[in-house]
Amino acid sequence: MLFLLNDVIVEFEAARLTQPAIAGHLARLSFGQVTQLVGEAFAENPRLPGGNVFEAQKLALMITLKQPQVNAALVLTPGRVCAPQEVSIQFAGLGAELLMQLKGMQQQGRLNAAMANNLVWSALGQRLAS
């Protein structure tokens, strides 16, 4: 499964990351609680997607398990370790073709924050404004 976390395509197999005990715990969490956990993780490590692949996979998995139509998240922090309340999160559901395009760009070393913003987050904002 592919998931865009800020400007990093995270690839994971839900079955490999979800142990029965973890799945049971996740089932009891609301999407709001998962969102809070994502915010806390980024508050502690604002550069998380590029620096900790396993943690990024876990966060993407948690989001996907609670909201299957979501396959992208933009998590913004002040750029430093901060309080979780300072973190803002935007979710999106992207088409498979766009995710594959982003994955290819990442493999070529061309995917960066500006590119992800232009192709996804700015475009999403423009669609919502219209």
pLDDT in tens, 10-20: 998 876 656 66
Q: Are strands 88-92 and 72-76 parallel, antiparallel or unpaired?
A: antiparallel
Phi, psi of 40 (to 5 degrees): -65, -40
Q: Token pair of 107, please? A: 């493999």
Quote the pTM value: 0.89
Among all chains, which residue has been given the structure tokens 């865009």?
4
Predicted local confidence at residue 38, as pLDDT:
97
Task: Give residue-wise pLDDT tens across range 34-59.
Answer: 999 999 999 999 999 988 998 999 89
Q: Is the pLDDT of residue 102 over 70?
A: yes
Predicted local confidence at residue 28, as pLDDT:
86
> For residues 121 and 115, what is the distance between their CA atoms, to the nearest angstrom?
10
Average pLDDT over residues 76-99: 94
For residue 69, give the nearest of 103, 94, 37 by alpha carbon. 94
The DSSP 8-state label assigned to residue 87 in this structure reads -
Q: Over the chain, what is the mean pLDDT?
A: 89
Expressed as residue numbers, the domain containing 76 is 2-129
For residue 127, what pLDDT band results from cuts at 50, 70 and 90?
low
- Report how many domains make up the chain: 1
